[in-house]
Chains A and B, each alone.
Chain A
Amino acid sequence: MSSTAPAAAHDAAARPRPRRLTELLLLLLALGIGVGANILVDPEQLDKDASHIVMSGSVLGLGALLVHVVLWARARYADPYLLPLAVALNGLGLAMIHRIDLSTGQTAANTQVVWTGVAMAVCCVVLWLLKDHRRLRNVTYIMLLLSAVLLVLPMVPGLGVEINGARLWISVAGRTFQPGEIAKITLAVFFAGYLSTNRDLILLAGRKIGPVRLPRFRDVAPMLAAWAIAIGVLVLQKDMGTAIMFFGLFLAMIYLATGRLGWIVLGVVLMLVGGFAASRFFTHVSLRLDAWLDAFNPEVYNRSPGGSAQIVQGLFGLASGGLFGQGLGQGRPDLVSYSNSDMIITAFGEELGLIGLGAILIMFLLFATRGLRAALGTRDAFGKLLAAGLSALMVLQLFIVIGGVTRLLPLTGLTTPFMSAGGSSLLSNWIIVAILLAISHSARRPVVTGPASDEDLATIEARRRARAEQRTQGSDAADREPATEPTRSAALSSSAAAPHHAGDSFDAPDTGSATEAMSRISDRSDGPAAGERAASRDTDDAAAAATTGGDAARGGTRAASSGGPEQKNEPAQGEAEQEGGTP
């Protein structure tokens, strides 16, 4: 990717294509998969009663079309693959839920169709309102509060409902809802907002013990608080799956922000220690572990609660699918409990086989890849963290689900994104789609590449002066800056469709605060001098304005980033990514 020739990159950057037509064609394919599968689960239903097929197909089709149209209007340069992948996965989920309904006589598919419509509509609303994803950064701490509230809601007497021993649901007007599903987004937004602002403090401030630099407690305290709330509440609510998922999200985002694998290693060790401790103190955890390790023991298999029958029956389903599967509508997925929600993967494994599940896994990988691609391409650290974090979260959730049903991990009750029956899960995943689409739009949106107009230059100059003034005002400037930045960027883009300013450039938005921080740490002044700092800002602005782009930016940021060797080559890569934004 970094090998893209500057000239080619320049051409590509000159005319980025919206690629909405690609998306439309892929959407037709995705709808074909979804509706086709829904018909194939029982071809005879067409002759008898096709109303469900028609309803489900039209909701999925119209919903997809609606999102597509909103993208035309509001985010023309959004990634063209994300939406079709989500629609295809959602369509497959609808088909399988419908298929299991046919065996069991439930009507879960009707509910799921309604939720699909609602979720896609919410996706459109989010896309419409969230013209610029950086707005979310303004509400970093509100998101923390919201996460806490969402996670505590099921504990509220009278509102919360306990289902199968886990208190994860709230009941409103006869409908159950799982607020934890939405909390994964709010937590991700909080992590992204907090880390994009404070990552340099976490990275650079603090005591160095041997080769390891420990961050100062006050720099990581809000993160630890968020983590503790999530884990604490979830342990109390007896849902290990969600706890592991949140913890994984936390680790992934810390790694993304700091680039240090040590965090992940430490996190996994902590998770194992925590799991061991939990198995000692909580019977439901030890039962789960037992059912995982000793699933084929008759005593474990037959006991209730905490028996391994569900896992074992799921394995039987997967085994009966084999390589090619029994064919849609021809297996017995209804023999597995929760086959349309937690265990829907075994239903797919049984009827579509290893090959079908492989295809589904690849679709998830593609989805995450496009999300990470958006993260690479977008220019602000917040967007990068959020997009990469949400993408990783999707695969992490899949890992916990499939790992659970294949006995790689203990089975925990988590939904398969887009597929499992469950409105909250569907809603939250479609909100993730909206956020990723918005970030990918900002990543691929064309930037002005001609010589900057006098007007632009004047704006930039005015901004720099204002910033210099601000800097002289006091030491709190660093903390205030991020909060004011989006407003500035909005002003900039609206006034002259100006190129991204320094604050938007790759790691640059934090350069200000980082250097600020570094200059404050007097005994470790290996950071750049103030002069270099100023130069970096100027060069960066100029670089973005000038057609030469990459080279200048590289020079500029290299000066700014002498503190961390890991950052050295990033701007150049980033620039190439951004310019070659059309995949």
Chain B
Amino acid sequence: MNKAIRRMWLMVAAIVMVLLLTLTYVQFFAANALQANPWNNRTLYEQFGQDRGSILVGGKEIAKSVPANDDFEHQRVYTDSPLYSGLTGYFSLVYGATGLESAMGDELSGASDDQFYDRVMSLFSGDQPKGASVELTLDPKLQQVAYDSLEGHNGSIVAVDPKTGEIKAMVSRKSYDANAMSSHDTDKVVAASDQLNADPDKPLVNRAIGGDLYSPGSTFKLVDTVAALESGKYTTGSTLQNPSELPLPDTTVTLPNYRQGGCAARTEVNLQFALEQSCNTPFAQIAMDLGQDKIRQTAENFGYGQDLSIPLDVTPSVFPKDMNQAQLALSSIGQYDVRTTPLQVAMTSAALANDGVMMKPSLVKNVRSSDLSVIDEFKAEQLRRSTDAETANTVTDLMTSVVDNGIARGAAVPGVKVAGKTGTAEIGKDGLNDSWFTGFAPADDPQLAVAVVVEDVDVTTGSSVTSPSARQLFEAVLNK
């Protein structure tokens, strides 16, 4: 019988071995497929019920996880959501995560490489691994001012510190409440999503960095000016022809100056006057003279066509290729197929403010693990040299006179030199334009570079919103 008992042990051991192999198959080889199975709510519950780190602005939590009493352990809650939802995005178990919830997802959930040690420790301590919190570079006061100044309009405002690249305000209106998209009640989320997606004002889009992009309008003339000065063919003293209408080559179309502006006063102008009054025809001629390659190269030096992550993904701005001279002429005044983001426009001003050096823009000031130790901290970083310091300073002077003497007077702050440039992009709607302002202040020691765009307004309304908005931002920064 002992032989049978020994054989029985072998059978018992074989059974255990078979079980181990089966478990190895399920838990190792088949694990990924099982976890990806659409019926597997576990991953969903785990991910969306996790105690994620908070997103903070000025020490205040604008997104945080609070304990929930449903299948999920935690619920994501957003404070002042419409003010920040373009940045935070939402955290929806139906539609996934967007915005920083997605871009900083690894850190917020504690899954980033930097948090590996914390994860290992939580294996032993038995503590629930907590995500890291992300503090933003935003200035809550500026953000509020920017948001309020767009009241009643769709549009966007971006404000950056030109010396560091820190984004101080980034507003996109029309906005939405991220809480509605982050509910654990899927029916409510679907209803909210349907409503937001059906809204013609596209509230889910962060216009500052994405969406359908804007035509930059006359703000693009800053790029033309830089290209002109860099080429050596033009100086501030050059005399430029300023016809009220410019026939475009090989077409029957003419490019007019803005009829009610100050351009009509002179037929020969210098760069300063052309920029002050935003005359179209001198810049179209400069562009056609320099050629599209030079203009495109300059635009790319300022970031057109370049991928950027702040760490939200920024849609690259577009300067079209293979144009004929007529198309180039239209492009030089920011029309035709030129497309840009408010962030790109703000960065252009920031680079000019910072002696031609463009700093890498970022939203993230620091990332702290749950024990408050700093995992990652913002460091000012040069992104690229956009132009030489001399050209930058010349353009700065020109922009200063645009505010002092030109059509951007609304941005003037008493006692402070403000550099600026307006723009009006025709969008094909009768009498309605996208109205721009970009600039920085103080011109001699830049603290803040801004870009403001307001959609679908007539000229008067546009100028009553954009430049004054910028002024309020400058005042808010400078009065601190």
Query: Is residue B18 within 8 Å, beta carbon to beta carbon, of the partner chain?
Result: yes
Encoded as 1 (CB less than 8 Å from any B CB) or 0, chain A from 384 to 420 comes to 1100100110011011001100111000000000000
Q: How many A-B residue pairs have CB under 8 A?
A: 161
Contact status B3-A259, CB under 8 Å: yes
A358 B20 Cβ-Cβ under 8 A: yes
A375 within 8 Å of B by Cβ?
yes
CB proximity to B under 8 Å, residues A113-172? none
Point out the residues of chain B lying under 8 angstroms from A61, CB to CB.
Answer: none
B30 within 8 A of A: yes
Among B5, B15, B125, the residue within 8 A (CB) of A372 is: B5
For the complex formed, measure the closest distance between the CB of B249 and the CB atoms of chain A, giving whole angstroms.
Answer: 65
B117 touches A (CB below 8 Å):
no
Cross-chain contact A332 with B23 (CB below 8 angstroms): no
In the bound complex, what is the Cα–Cα distance between A138 and B81 (angstroms)? 80
| Contact residues in A for B123 (Cβ distance below 8 Å) | 324, 327
Most buried by A among B7, B16, B26, B39: B26
Q: A319-B26, A349-B27, A392-B8 are in contact. Are A365 and B35 (CB under 8 A)?
A: no
Known: A327-B123, A357-B23. A365 touches B5 (CB 8 A): no
A456 to B217, CA, bound (A): 118
Additional 19 contacts, C-beta under 8 A, given A330-B129, A369-B9 = A41-B126, A42-B126, A43-B127, A255-B8, A257-B4, A258-B4, A259-B4, A261-B7, A315-B34, A330-B128, A349-B27, A358-B23, A365-B12, A365-B16, A368-B9, A395-B12, A399-B19, A569-B3, A577-B2
With A329-B126, A349-B23, A384-B1 known as contacts, the answer to whether A320 contacts B12 (CB < 8 A) is no
> Chain B residues near A301 (CB, 8 Å)?
39
Give the Cβ gap from A408 to chain B, nearest Cβ, in Å.
5
Given contacts A316-B37, A319-B35, A327-B122, contact A256 B8 (CB under 8 A): yes
- Asked if A71 is at the interface (CB within 8 A of a chain B CB), the reply is no
With a cutoff of 8 Å between Cβ atoms, the chain B residues found around residue A407 in the complex are 26
- Between A and B, 6 residue pairs with Cβ closer than 8 Å are A256-B1, A315-B26, A316-B34, A328-B126, A335-B42, A349-B23
Are B126's CB and A321's CB within 8 A? no
Whether A353 sits at the interface, judged by CB under 8 Å, is yes
A469 to B375, CA, bound (A): 92
- Does A381 touch B at the CB level, under 8 Å? yes
Residues on A with C-beta less than 8 A from B26 are 315, 318-319, 349, 406-407
Q: Within the complex, what minimum Cβ distance (angstroms) separates A115 from chain B?
A: 26
- Identify B30's interface contact among A39, A319, A353, A357, CB under 8 A: A319
- CB distance A574 to B2 under 8 Å? yes
Of all chain A residues, the one with the shortest Cβ separation from B71 is A335
Task: Give B87 Cβ to nearest chain A Cβ, in Å.
Answer: 30
Instruction: Indicate which residue in A313, A319, A381 contacts B31 across the interface (CB closer than 8 Å).
Output: A319
Residues on B close to A: CB < 8 A?
1-9, 11-13, 15-16, 18-20, 22-28, 30-32, 34-35, 37, 39-43, 45-46, 122-123, 125-129
A573 within 8 Å of B by Cβ? Answer: yes
Main secondary structure on chain A at its contact with chain B? helix
A123 to B35, CA, bound (A): 43
Q: Is the CB of A375 within 8 A of B5?
A: yes
Overall SS of chain B's interface:
helix
| B19 (CB) vs chain A CBs: closest residue | A402
Cα distance A399–B35 in the bound complex, in angstroms: 25
Query: Once the chains are docked, how many angstroms separate the CA of A154 from the CA of B15?
Result: 31
Q: Is A317 an interface residue (CB 8 A)?
A: yes
Which of the residues B19, B39, B43, B126 comes within 8 Å of A320, measured between beta carbons?
Answer: B43
* A316-B40, A316-B42 known; A372-B9 Cβ under 8 A: yes
Q: A354 with B126: in contact, given A256-B4, A320-B42, A408-B18 (CB under 8 Å)?
A: no
Q: How many residues of chain A have a CB within 8 Å of chain B? A: 69
Q: What does the 1/0 interface line of A434-471 toward B look like (CB < 8 Å)?
A: 00000000000000000000000000000000000000
From B16, B18, B30, B125, residue with most partner A Cβ within 10 Å: B16
CB <8 Å contact, B9 and A318:
no
- The reply to whether A566 and B126 contact each other, CB–CB distance below 8 Å, is no
The reply on A570 being an interface residue by CB < 8 A is: yes
**Which of B35, B42, B43 has the most chain A CB atoms inside 10 A of its CB?**
B42
Contact A398 B125 (CB under 8 A): no
Q: A316-B42, A332-B46 are in contact. Are A398 and B19 (CB under 8 A)?
A: yes
- Which chain A residues border B128 with CB–CB below 8 Å? 329-330
A376 touches B6 (CB 8 A): yes
Q: For residue B16, which residues in chain A have a CB less than 8 angstroms away from its CB?
A: 361-362, 364-365, 395, 398
A14 on interface, CB distance cutoff 8 Å: no
A330: nearest residue on chain B (CB-CB)? B128
Contact B31 A322, beta carbon cutoff 8 Å = yes
Closest to A366 in B: B16
Beyond A317-B42, A361-B20, A402-B19, whether A506 also contacts B9 by CB under 8 A is no
Complex Cα–Cα for A358 and B19 (A): 9
Q: Does any Cβ of B come within 8 Å of A278's Cβ?
A: no
Q: Does A24 contact B (CB under 8 A)?
A: no
A385 vs B5: C-alpha distance when bound (angstroms):
9
Closest to B129 in A: A330
The reply on A534 being an interface residue by CB < 8 A is no
A408 to B20, CA, bound (A): 11
Q: What chain B residues lie within 8 Å of A369 (beta carbons)?
A: 9, 12
CA distance A574 to B42 in the complex (A): 53
Given known contacts A335-B41, A406-B23, A368 and B31 CB-to-CB distance under 8 angstroms: no
Interface contact B5-A384, CB-CB below 8 Å:
yes
Q: Which residues of A contact B6 (CB under 8 A)?
A: 376
When chains A and B are docked, how far (Å) is the Cα of A381 from the Cα of B1? Answer: 8
Does A85 sit at the interface, judged by CB under 8 A? no
Q: In the complex, what residue of chain A is closest to B11 when comparing beta carbons?
A: A392
Q: Which residue of the partner chain A has the closest CB to B35? A: A319
- CB contacts (< 8 Å) of B125 on chain A: these are 43
Contact B27 A368 (CB under 8 A): no
The answer to whether A395 and B15 touch (CB under 8 A), given A316-B34, A322-B28, is yes
A416 to chain B, nearest CB (A): 12
List residues of chain B with CB within 8 A of the CB of A321.
27
Least distance between A578 CB and chain B CB atoms (Å): 10
Give the distance in Å from the alpha carbon of A261 to the alpha carbon of B11 in the complex. 11
Q: Does A347 contact B (CB under 8 A)?
A: no
Instruction: Give the one of B22, B27, B125 with max A CB within 10 A.
Output: B27
A323 in complex: contacting residue of B8, B19, B25, B28, CB < 8 Å: B28
**Within the assembled complex, what's the spacing in Å between the Cα atoms of A300 and B2?**
47
Once bound together, how far apart are the Cα atoms of A9 and B32, in whole Å? 53
Report the nearest B residue to A336, measured CB to CB. B42
Residues of chain B with a CB closer than 8 A to A259's CB: 1, 3-4, 7
Residues of B within 8 Å of A432, CB to CB, are none
Chain B's nearest CB lies how many Å from the CB of A150?
26
